[in-house]
Amino acid sequence: MVQCAVVGRPVVGNEEIVAFVQLLKGSSATAQDVMAHVAPELTSYKRPSEIILMDALPATSTGKLLKHKLAESLRN
């Protein structure tokens, strides 16, 4: 994994966690592989409900992740 970010997605009466993950180029890992890796390390309420693999996470020219763009992508 190169980098990742998590954002909240509204659901009725609460919010769920969605993780966006950028893998190393050439990696054959799947979202299920990543979930299997993180699940034992996180309590149930901290586990993402979904993992979305991306080629690159949106970032500024200085490398700061643009989490609001990730959150917007969930609404569309």
| Residue 29's CATH number | 3.30.300.30
pLDDT for 1 beyond 80: no
- Which of residues 58 and 2 earns the better pLDDT score? 58
What are the tens digits of pLDDT across the range 14-51?
A: 999 999 999 999 999 999 999 999 999 999 989 999 99
Q: What pTM was computed for the model?
A: 0.90
Number of domains in the chain: 1
What are the tens digits of pLDDT across the range 47-76?
A: 999 999 999 999 999 999 999 999 999 987
- Element holding 4 (H helix, E strand): strand 3-11
